[in-house]
Each structure stands twice: as C-alpha cells, then as structure tokens.
Structure 1
Amino acid sequence: SEFGEDIVQFLLNTSLTNLTVEQQLQLKLKRPTPRLRFDQGDRYQKRHQHFDWYTKYGWLAGSITTNRLYCFTCLMFNGNGTDEWTNTGVSHLAKHFEKKAARHQSSRMHLRSQEALQMLGKSTTEKSTVESCRLAAAIHNREAETRRSTLRQIVHELCRLGKQGLAIETCTDSNMADGQDFSYLFWDEEGEPLRLDRIPIEQRRQLVQAIAAAMLGKMKEELAKAPFVSLQIDEAYETGSSRQVSVILRYCIGAKIIERFAGLYDLPEWGDLQLSVGSVVLKMIEEWELEGRLIGQSYDGSSMTPAGDCTIQAVVTDAGHHAPLVHSYMHRLDLILLFGTTTIREVRTLIGNLKILRNFFEAPKRRMRLINDGGILPPLDATQWLSTVHEYFSSISNILDAIVSNEHLWDPETLTLAIVLRQRLDDYEFVYLLCFFHAIFVNFIYPLVDFLDGNFSVYGSSTMEKIGKTIKDMRDLKKDVLVQSRVAMSLKLNPRLNFDEDMICHLKQLSEDIILDMTRQLKTRFKDHHNLTSLELLCELAFPNYAVEFPKLTFRRLVTYYQLFDQERLENELYNIYEDEQKRLPPVDLLDYLVRNDLEDVYSEVTKLLRLSLSLPAVRPQQKNIFSDECLLTRIKKAVASPNTSEYLAVLHVERDFLDLLSNDKSFKERVIDLFAVMGDRTELIY
C-alpha cells in the first residue's frame, strides 16, 4: 500500500494537507483494525483487548508498530496532537476503557474531526456531479436542438399552408394511415423532405393543437395592450354538431382595429340559453382579463336578447360590467329577425323547408346534372336564401315537376325529395310566408340595413329616429291590405293554390304575431343605442358645425355615460380638433393621423375616445386586407359547418391570416414546440 503497512504510523508522520484529494478519499476508507496482543493483569484478573470495540467505536484504530489504540478520525484531522488518542495512543487496557472512549467521542475536538471526515469529498463529489450533469445536459441539448430544428420547419410549413387550410386538414385526418406519405408538404433548409408521415396521427393532432394554443397565447398578449374590448357572441350550433357559441373580440391597438376569433364555447344541452351564454361571457372576461375594459357586447339573435329581465346583458351587468348592447355590422338583420320569430310554429316549419330546399340543390352531383339538363338553378347564398327561393320560385317549381314527371331517370333519393318539395311549393302557408317575409324585408328591413351600413354615422341621433320610424311603420301596417297583397303574390307564384276564408283569417293572425315579434326584437336590439349617440362627437361631417357651436348637450351625455374621461381636457382637445381643418377626418383616419405624428399624448383624451368608439362592433373597419375581404363571422360559420372540426381547428381555420403572420415569429415556433413537448411529456424536446 502507498500508505505503508501501518496507516496509524503514516498519519503520525504525515500531514493530511500533503495528500491529494484522491489520496485523502482513499485513506478515509482504510481505518486499520488489527488484533493487538497486550494482555495485562494484576493479582486479581487478566484483561485483554475486545475486538468488537472496533465495531462499537467506528473511529477506533490500532497500530501494529506501537501496539496501541488511537482515534483514527482525530489522527487524520488533528495530526500529532497532545491528546493520548492522537499522540501516545492508549497503551494499557484500563478497566474504565469504555468510559474513557465515551468521553473522547463526546469531546469538541472529536466532534470537529468527525464532521470533517463526513464532509471530506462532498464538495469534490458535487463538482464532479455538476460537471457530469453539465456534459450530459450539453449532449441532451444538442440532441434536443436537432429535434426542435426539424419541428420548427414543420411548424413553419403548417402555419404557412394552414392559411389555405391544406396542411391542417391533412395532418389531422384520422382516416389517413399513419404510414401515408406526407413528405411532399415539407422541406428542410437543404431541400430534403421532412417525413411527417413518421409521426403518429395522435402526435400530429397534438402538434396542430399546440399551434392553436400558442396562437391563442399570442392573441392574449396582443389583447393585453388594448384599453377597450367588445365581445360578439354568435350561435354556432345550428350548423355544427353540438350546442356552441362562437366569440369574437374587437379592440384597437395603435391606430389599428383588430377583430379576433377567440374560439368556440360549449353550452349545456339543456337549460336557459340566457344564463348559459351569460356564463360564457363572464368566463371570457376572466380568462382574457377583460375586467374594466369591456365596453360593448353583441349577440346574433333574439333568442339571446329576448324581452324581459333575464337577458345575457343583465347577467353581465349584474356582475358589475358596464357594456351596452350593440348591433354588430357583421350581423344580418333580416336573418336575425327571421330566426328570432322561430317561437312561432309556422315560421319554424318555413325555415325547415327552406333548409331542405337548399340541401337539395346543394348536392354537387345532382346540381351538376340539373345544370347540364338546362335547369335555371338558384344561387347558393345562404344569407338570402328566403329571398332567393322567392325570386327563383318558378324555376324551382319547373325543375321539381320535371324530376317527378321523369321518375325513371332519377335515383330514388332525388325522386323522393322532389315529391316532398313539390308538395311544399303547393302549401299555401309556405308560399304565403315566403311572400310575407320578402315584403317586410324589402319595404322595412333592407332600407334600415342600408341606413346603418356599418358607417360611423350609425351613432348619429338620426339613427334612433330611423329605427323608431321603422318600428312604428311596421306596427301601423294595415293587416287586411298586407294579407290581401301577399295572397295575391302567392297566387302569382303558384296559381294552383287556393285560399278560403278560414285560411285568410289564420294568415291575418299569423302576420300580426310575426310583426309584433319582429318589432319587439328591433326595440330590444337597439335599446341601448341612445346611449351611444354621444359618439357622434367624432362624426367628421359635423366638425364644421361643431367648430361654430360646440355640442355641449352631446358632450354632457358622453361624459355622463362614460365616466372615464378628464372632462375639461377632453372638451379643450375637441375644440382644437374641430377648428383644425386638417383634422376633419373620419375616426379611423383621425386616429391614424394622431398616432403617426406622435400626438397621442397631446390629444390623450380624444385618442381614448377614438379607441373606445372604434372598439365597438357597430362600425365596419375601413382598413384594407382585413380578413382578406371576407367577414370574420362568415369564416366562423364555414369552419363550424365543416365535419369533425374541433375547437382548435376552428381557430386555425378562421384566423388564417394571423397564423400566416406568426409563421415568421421565432418565439411563436419555440412556444409551439414547448407546448407540444408538455402535451406528451416529451423531455427529449426540452432544453
């Protein structure tokens, strides 16, 4: 041994500090425990060493050179000291040996030595462990970076191709085998195909889900910068497979109006719709941190805004949120009023028959054959299908007659549907309601829609006058004249109809019920609009008049309803805006002017007012390329109508432009990969 045959003698002659760490660690494990022979006795008894003392006292060591016992621990860390346990050693076996040993192992010197022995090598081991971990981490990170680099390319292509809805559908199609070749979709930086087909289908779904989750996270980061937000809730379950609502957020950041699809929210299959949707709104306020920033709410039908106290708005208001009900420019007023009257049985039947008609002409093979046969088919515009059927009634009737007359040329399904639909066209109630709603829409609703038209003038006081006049004119209709004119129009569409007195009486009552319901809807839908007329302070057409005479009453209504302005400063800022011809701009352009010229702080209150007004959904965003000339709500309806569209796929379908923008964001890709790693506990992707 490098320490010699007698380790005790080695320690007596060598300082521990002269040894390397490795030698010290070796020595720590070499406590010598030889059997010493030094029997000693007196006239009464003989005494000798008990070998089990080495076990009982873990610090005890023996020297074969001196034939004495020592404290191995103290000898290592205190050297050749004055204590007999570290200097001369115990050379006699007194009858009180164990008491002497017990006193020593409780001494301060021994305790310090014991601690030093225990700590010997600890720091060195830690350093070694840290170094080993560092090397292992470096190797792991290199491997993780290789995997993440491949995933970055896949995420980039998914985002880019997701704008067209291509890769998203392909990668999550459960009907496609895991081994199917997807490599044509993706290429790495060297032009080599990325074998996405090697990723199991469930992992592909999780990857797309991670993209959607990361995109929603980016939306929340963006939304956090907005001072005001409005919510738009739309029923989506009519075209989908479950009872859901879609949520659109509208806000203003800088000089840009932004509208984002926040996702689909499930509703209970049963229960009060008002309370259910109200709960969704309150959940949205909490999830998206809208407390104190929600300034408007909009809903797409009277089923969500009925008369009475139990409304969604009441649920939100009772929770302490100041958010008036606003009619959104996205909402088709004619459809809202039509579907809002479905509490009436005859209207429900009408809508059901219209859906059957549309589905009949929508089937691709059937539609193509009818076109080839020379039929004049109605266009498939779902938003105006009632008026379309009214306009193409004669053509539809001729097509159905031709199918029924040539039954041997058609498949059983088409023939059966044609017979059923032919009967519908001969139903007096169906034809009358077509003519009735068409007349109401053309004479009252479409002119009101044109007047509103999504312009900023919608906030003018004349809007309330127009709405009030429309409601009054509809209620003042002479029902007898209206019914007779619609009966005449029904006979013109279908001369085979026959109306007796009982039918006429029924139609009069039905018409009166529908008009009463529609006017109630209009009144409810615009009941908060009078509180928004103060926003006509920003109508640029009135600026010259405001410069001459400041609109004090309108200003007073504004600061009373919205108690968030510095009144004196806002008034002075508006004075300056009105008097400066260069600033007589539409609200969107005025806000852009202030932002571009760094005048936000100079006109801080006007800027606040502009952003508040532009965050409300009543005004159509006058910006180029917003939603690629397609209404956001239209995209949502298409996404929900797609079979097996999950919530996260719907977000990707609708927000395709935002997804395309994020495809070049490095932090977004990293976030996607991090989420993907967490979903499957994939530690190989985590640094």
Structure 2
Amino acid sequence: MATANENSVVSLRSNPFSRRSVEEKKRIKELGPEQPDKQIQQQASDRGRSYTRGFSRLCYTKHSWLAGCGVSNALYCFPCLLFQSVGSGTEALWTTTGVRDLKHLSEKCKRHESSRSHLDNSMKLQFFGRVSIAEQLDEGYRVGIRRHNEEVTKNRHILSRIIDCVKFCGAFELALRGHDESESSVNPGIFRGLVDFVASLDGALKEHLETATVFKGTSKTVQNELLDCMLSVAREQIIKEAQKSVFVSIQADETTDISTQTQLVLVLRYIDDKHSVQESFFDFIPLQSSTSESIATALKERLAAIIPEDQKSKLICQAYDGASVMRGANAGVQRKIKDEYPNAHYIHCYAHQLNLIMQQATSHISKVRIFFSDLGGFASFFSRSPKRTAVLAKMVAHRLPTSSNVRWNFHSRAVNTVFEHRQDLIQCFENIRDSGDFDPKTMREAGGMAMLLEHQDFKFFLELFHHIMPHVDLLYAKLQKKNIDAVHIKGSIQQFEQDIQIIRNSRHSMGEQSSGSLTSKRRRVLSSEDRQNVAEEICNTILGHTRERFSFTDHLVCATLLQGDRFEDHQGAFPEETLQNTLKAYKMLNGSKLKTELSLIYSKVEFRACCGAVDLFQLFMENNLEDVFSETVTLLKILITTPMTTAEAERCFSTLKRVKTFLRNTMTQERLNALAMLSMEKRLVCEMTDFNQKVIEKFAGLKERRAKFMFK
C-alpha cells in the first residue's frame, strides 16, 4: 500500500525515482504529483498602487504536471523531477530550487511545456510500465494484439447472449436445466431451447455452438459460474446504492422451503440517487435453527458487509413478520440488533396486522365464523367435480374464489361474487337438483346450498361484509405499496376507521332491509335487533383491534408532524410534545432548526396539499430546497426509509417457493439466491447498462480460461 507522501517533492529529492523498485515507481506514477495549497505571496506595484499576488490552485488544473512542495514553498515539474533530465538555466529551476515567481509563472509554465527536456520526460512517464515503443511498432505484435482483441470481442458477444438467456429464465422464474440436455434430446429444457432460438437469430452464436471445442457456454458449470457472477454484480450495486443513502432499513422474514430448509429473507429499504424509494431483495439466508440468537447472528453478518463500522447510525429501522422470536423486548432479534445499531427502531408488519384484525373479528363471533365456513362451502362444492363446474360456468359464468385466512382479499372476492350472483347461484343449484344428471349426494348438497342462499341470516351477513370488505381491500392495497410511508399510513387508517364507523351507524337500516319473510325454518333466524347487535359487535371489534394494533409507537408519532391535513391545526398550536418525542427517537436532528422549518411549512398554504411524506420530499428535492429545509428533509428521509409493511419480504417468499418448485432439483444456496435476485430485482438488472460487461469481467477473473475474454 502506497504511503501518502511517496510522491512528494521532498521524498523524490531525498530518494530519487531511478533508485526505487519497479513496484514503487508504479505506485508513484499512479499517485501523480503531490499538489498541496501553497502559501506563496509576492508584493508588487503597478502605476503607483501596491498589491499582493497569491498562489491559486487553478494553476494545478491548467498544468497537471505541476508538483508543489510544502517545505521549500515552491513549484516543480513532476516528470522532470522523476527522470532528472532538465536543460541548463531557468529550466533547471523546475527540479532544483523550484519556481516561486508568481508574476511570470504563466509564461514560465508555457515555456517549460514547450521545452525538449519536458516533452521527453513526459513521454517517458507515460510509457513507463508499458510495452516499449519498438515492440508496439512491431507489425507482428500489432497484428497479434488485433487478432486477440477480435477474438475477445467475439467471445464477449457470445457470452453476453448466453447471459441474456440466463437473465430471461431468472426474470420469469423458469427452470434453467431440463431432464435431458443432450444434442439429440427433443426436450432439452427452457435454457437450452432459448439459446437455440437466439442462435437461429444470431449467426455468430449459431456458428459458435456448432464449431466450439474449447468453450461452448451451455454447460452446468458455466451456468452456475454465471449465476454466481450475476448475483455478485447485483449485490454490489445494491450495496453501493444503500451506502450512498443517508438511511437504511432492513425487512426480514423466515419460512421453510419445500425441502423443509429454514430460510431467512433479507430486504433493504433506502432512498436512491433519483430520490425514489427502493426495496431491494438482498439474500436468502439458510438457518441452522430458528432461535433469536441464530437469526440475529445471520443478520449481523450481512449488515457488516452492507453498513460500514463507522456508519451504524444510518440503520434506522428493522421490520419483521411479528413472530415472538423477532419482537422480544429483552431477548428477541430486534433487541439484539438494536444493541449494536442504536437507531434501528422495531416496526411491525402492518399488512400482517390487518389480517390479524379480520381474523379476530371473525373467529371471536360464532355467527360470523359460521358464515365464513358456509361461504367457503360454495367454492368447495364446485371444485370437487368438473361436471359441477360446467353447470356453474353455464349459469353464472363466474368462478367462485377459494377463501383464505392468510390473504383476506380472497375472502373479499368470495363475498362479492356470491353477493352479486346470488340469484344465479340459486338457479344453478336448482338446475343441478332437477336435471337428474347428478348423483344423490350432489343433489342433496345442492339443495342445502340453495336453502342457505335463501336464509335471512346468511343474506344479512353477506350484505354486511359486502359493505365492509371493499374498505379492507383498499387498506390492504395501500399497506402493500412499496412507497408507503408513516404519514400515508396514518391517514389511510383514519379513513378506514371512519368508513367502518359509517357502516356501524347505518346498521339499523341494514337490519331492517334484511328482515323480510322467512323462507327457511331449518335454522333459528336472528331477530332484527339481534342482527343490529351482531353488526355493531363486528364493527366494534374491527375498530377496537384497528386502534390497538395500528397505534403508533413513540418513535413513529413524528409522522403526524408532516401530515398535510394537520398543518392548519399545527399552525395554531405547534405540536411541541410530538417534536420532543421525535427528537428523543432520532438524536441526529437539530431541534431548534427543525422547529423553525416546520413552523414555516405550517404557515404556507401550498404545503397542505401534500398527502404524504413522499410527496413533500419530492417537492423539496425538485425545487432544490434540500439545503433550506435540511432538518425537515432529514426527517422525511427517516419516515420514507422506515418500512410500513413487509410486503416485499412476503413477495420474496412466494418467489422462493416458485423457484424451488420450478427447479425441483438440488441447488446450492448461491444458485437459489442468484435466481431469486434475477426474478425480484429485474428493475435493477435492466437499469444497469453495463451489467453484462461486469458479469463477463467477473466470470473471466474467476479462474484461468482457455477462451479469451480480456482485452489487451
């Protein structure tokens, strides 16, 4: 490693360049001339006026060969100093005592640049460490270089096409290898088939596949090496973007893949150079156990590679799926991470919270639990027989989605479908009973389903949840967005509570509408008053759990400081307590300046139209107000970087299962990571214009290869 002053004038004069080793000479050439600020000043007079002339660093910009010396306080010629070849007279000053005459410095520089000795020494410096001029001028050498580079260009083109095929398979989660990849195979797999298709459009690739004997590029080994290189390039880009960002958050979730191997997914959230929120998949981490110690150790290892030791304060949030091993206040993962990264506040998954709220609302009320059980029976009835499905398609022309306790949007689809097509379903069941084409069991079940659709209690709950579920869907969709922020979350939850409140207040009219003539006596029917009470209980349960589970912790109360619809109220009464909680949570903020900036923002009507932190942040950045509202922008970056959901982690897990299912063969962990990266980070890979070239360079540097991929 070169020292800081190897290229200084003092060092070069005491230990001449010619006496140094080749390695030292190369380091000095790479460092270039030392160019410190000079304290040269000269008194001069012109037409009776005295003035002081001082040295300017612009001289270094105009003349890159200039070297400064802090000891002699003079300027020297770097090439001439290295090779000690200067003529007599004034030219010798550039290597001996140095030049201090500022008045004639420009003239002396121009004259020295034109001197033979300077040109000769500059040429020596440029050619040092390279092939000699004689060898370069040798025709045979030049022809060899040209042929080598032509071959490298061709090989890089071939490898780039193969990389494109791997990227395509990864982006669309397609298996790379087939069961039989031999030349005579009629089903060699998607990757080989895609390579053959590209070869039919690319003559160079086709010729390579037909004639190659050294490197064909389609083997299992090459595929794995390319995947390793692609993963490495993508990760380096993500780390580069994350390290440039002021703040970083992590999102983690664990699951088991189809081989029952426990996996931990790690996702990074940050603001990139374009001021956009990015949630980037980083790694699938194999775990030996699911203990908090094991998970925390794995996360710390990855974080050490992402966040430098002196920048631990930039990790401002950690989000998990809500498992007890994650959230433990004393011994959980979040506590172990926070001990090392003090600003890493723990945030729960809000999309996961919404599902828990709906589960609580339905599982604790027996009538509602029975309703969703009955509702699931419709999809189950038709899914068991293609013949039944054919009648459904003919009569209703609409499939019945299967319900799911994990994803409540499936419940919503089932409720809406049955509500909108209730009469068609009744007719469908009656046709099944009357047609005589079905077995007695089917006819018996169809009769029961038809009676259920006519039952007043079922119709009441169907209508009630037909009103509730759209609001659940809307909130769920907002919680799943990547660019959601705390301000937006707060407003969305308040709107959801208002909508449920309206439904609860209108329960009387709903109960009256559903209390008609009783067409079924097989079940005890709820009275109008009972229905009103149950509807009120359902809405109260949803509202209660919403307020409890979505209550912001102390360090997230700061979101209300930048909630546009509150700016007018804040102008009248500044939220001093909220500001103090914010400063307590994020000690890097300047409290007095932040208060001044917020007071100004609250007083401006224009800012009240911003519906979230992202909008306000984009407004500041687009109008170059980052320096004016520096503390507010810092707070906005914190709010935006703080994830409100682990939606990305959930998407990663679904991809993990798809990749495993598609491949159905033994893979190394790196291969799985690479395929997942190509699938989930298509944007990143596509936006990197030099992605293929970086992969090729890494691939060429893995080991000595008989095929040539590096230019001379």
TM-score, reference length from structure 2? 0.54
In the alignment, does 2:344 pair up with 1:323? yes
Contact 1:230–1:615 (CA<8 Å) still a contact in 2? yes
Structure-1 residue corresponding to 2:105 = none
Structure-2 residue corresponding to 1:155 = 163
Q: Deviations over 1:411-469 (max 9, x none)?
A: xxxx9999999999999xxxx99x99998997699569749955657479889999999
Shift of 1:219: 1.1
Structure-1 residue corresponding to 2:655 = 639
Q: Deviations over 1:142-184 (max 9, x none)?
A: 544432232123334654x46861xx626x1333524344345
In the alignment, does 2:670 pair up with 1:670? no
In the alignment, does 2:566 pair up with 1:566? no
Contact 2:152–2:708 (CA<8 Å) still a contact in 1? yes
Q: Deviations over 1:7-47 (max 9, x none)?
A: xxxxxxxxxxxxxxxxxxxxxxxxxxxxxxxxxxxxxxxxx
- Name the SS for the 2:251 alignment partner: strand
Find the partner of 2:317 among 291, 296, 299.
296
| Structure 1, 536-545 or 255-264: larger mean CA deviation | 536-545
Q: Deviations over 1:593-625 (max 9, x none)?
A: 3323333233322221111111112399xxxxx
Contact 1:534–1:555 (CA<8 Å) still a contact in 2? yes
Q: Are the structure 2 counterparts of residues 324 and 550 from structure 1 closer, same or farther at C-alpha, using a change threshold of 3 Å?
A: same
**Residues 188-267 of structure 1 mapped to structure 2, 5 A cutoff:** 192-194=204-206, 199-237=218-256, 242-254=261-273, 255-267=275-287
> Which residue type is aligned with residue 337 of structure 2?
V
Find the partner of 1:536 among 551, 560, 563.
560
> Which residue type is aligned with residue 253 of structure 1?
D
Structure-1 residue corresponding to 2:300 = 282
Structure-1 residue corresponding to 2:81 = none
Q: Are the structure 2 counterparts of residues 364 and 440 from structure 1 closer, same or farther at C-alpha, using a change threshold of 3 Å?
A: closer
Structure-2 residue corresponding to 1:555 = 579
Q: Are the structure 2 counterparts of residues 459 and 259 from structure 1 closer, same or farther at C-alpha, using a change threshold of 3 Å?
A: same
Shift of 1:562: 0.8
Q: Distance in 1 between matches of 2:556 and 2:545?
A: 19
Shift of 1:199: 1.4
> Which residue type is aligned with residue 538 of structure 1?
L
Q: Distance in 1 between matches of 2:301 and 2:427?
A: 52
Structure-1 residue corresponding to 2:93 = none
Contact 2:500–2:539 (CA<8 Å) still a contact in 1? no
Shift of 1:295: 1.4
Q: Are the structure 2 counterparts of residues 466 and 678 from structure 1 closer, same or farther at C-alpha, using a change threshold of 3 Å?
A: same
Shift of 1:334: 3.7
Q: Distance in 2 between matches of 1:133 and 1:575?
A: 72
Q: Distance in 2 between matches of 1:308 and 1:519?
A: 26
Shift of 1:403: 9.6
Structure-2 residue corresponding to 1:618 = 644
Contact 1:444–1:470 (CA<8 Å) still a contact in 2? no
Q: Deviations over 1:641-677 (max 9, x none)?
A: 4214633222222222222222xx22x2222123434
Q: Distance in 1 between matches of 2:294 and 2:363?
A: 19
Contact 1:307–1:524 (CA<8 Å) still a contact in 2? no
Q: Are the structure 2 counterparts of residues 416 and 243 from structure 1 closer, same or farther at C-alpha, using a change threshold of 3 Å?
A: farther
Q: Deviations over 1:307-346 (max 9, x none)?
A: 77543323322444332333456x25343457899999x9
Contact 1:337–1:518 (CA<8 Å) still a contact in 2? yes
- Name the SS for the 2:267 alignment partner: strand
Structure-1 residue corresponding to 2:530 = none
| Structure 1, 213-222 or 363-372: larger mean CA deviation | 363-372
Q: Are the structure 2 counterparts of residues 671 and 457 from structure 1 closer, same or farther at C-alpha, using a change threshold of 3 Å?
A: closer
In the alignment, does 2:192 pair up with 1:186? no
Shift of 1:638: 4.2
Q: Distance in 2 between matches of 1:685 and 1:363?
A: 60
Q: Distance in 2 between matches of 1:525 and 1:223?
A: 30
Q: Are the structure 2 counterparts of residues 162 and 417 from structure 1 closer, same or farther at C-alpha, using a change threshold of 3 Å?
A: farther
Contact 1:300–1:336 (CA<8 Å) still a contact in 2? no
Q: Are the structure 2 counterparts of residues 178 and 470 from structure 1 closer, same or farther at C-alpha, using a change threshold of 3 Å?
A: same
Q: Distance in 2 between matches of 1:598 and 1:408?
A: 74
**Residues 302-381 of structure 1 mapped to structure 2, 5 A cutoff:** 302=323, 309-328=330-349, 331-337=351-357, 369=390, 372=393, 374=395, 376-379=398-401
Structure-2 residue corresponding to 1:503 = none
Q: Are the structure 2 counterparts of residues 284 and 437 from structure 1 closer, same or farther at C-alpha, using a change threshold of 3 Å?
A: farther
Contact 2:251–2:266 (CA<8 Å) still a contact in 1? yes
In the alignment, does 2:627 pair up with 1:601? yes
Shift of 1:226: 1.0
Contact 1:228–1:294 (CA<8 Å) still a contact in 2? yes
Shift of 1:568: 2.6
> Which residue type is aligned with residue 671 of structure 1?
K
Q: Are the structure 2 counterparts of residues 127 and 176 from structure 1 closer, same or farther at C-alpha, using a change threshold of 3 Å?
A: same
Shift of 1:356: 11
**Residues 399-418 of structure 1 mapped to structure 2, 5 A cutoff:** none
- Name the SS for the 1:264 alignment partner: strand
Contact 2:656–2:676 (CA<8 Å) still a contact in 1? yes
> Which residue type is aligned with residue 177 of structure 1?
E
**Residues 384-423 of structure 1 mapped to structure 2, 5 A cutoff:** 384-389=409-414
In the alignment, does 2:172 pair up with 1:173? no
**Residues 51-90 of structure 1 mapped to structure 2, 5 A cutoff:** none
Q: Are the structure 2 counterparts of residues 603 and 308 from structure 1 closer, same or farther at C-alpha, using a change threshold of 3 Å?
A: closer
- Name the SS for the 1:292 alignment partner: helix
Q: Distance in 2 between matches of 1:198 and 1:405?
A: 65
Q: Distance in 1 between matches of 2:142 and 2:489?
A: 69
- Name the SS for the 2:345 alignment partner: coil
Q: Distance in 2 between matches of 1:417 and 1:234?
A: 43
In the alignment, does 2:675 pair up with 1:649? yes
> Which residue type is aligned with residue 614 of structure 1?
I
Find the partner of 2:617 among 580, 588, 591.
591
Q: Distance in 2 between matches of 1:541 and 1:610?
A: 16
Structure-2 residue corresponding to 1:96 = none
Q: Are the structure 2 counterparts of residues 370 and 304 from structure 1 closer, same or farther at C-alpha, using a change threshold of 3 Å?
A: farther
Q: Distance in 2 between matches of 1:305 and 1:463?
A: 26
Q: Distance in 2 between matches of 1:418 and 1:639?
A: 41
Shift of 1:387: 4.6
Q: Are the structure 2 counterparts of residues 264 and 351 from structure 1 closer, same or farther at C-alpha, using a change threshold of 3 Å?
A: farther
Unaligned runs of 5+ in 1: 1-125, 473-484, 500-511, 621-630
Shift of 1:257: 1.4
> Which residue type is aligned with residue 385 of structure 1?
F
Which has more radius of gyration?
1
Q: Distance in 2 between matches of 1:262 and 1:202?
A: 24
Structure-1 residue corresponding to 2:36 = none
Q: Are the structure 2 counterparts of residues 467 and 417 from structure 1 closer, same or farther at C-alpha, using a change threshold of 3 Å?
A: same
Identical columns (%): 19
> Which residue type is aligned with residue 558 of structure 2?
S
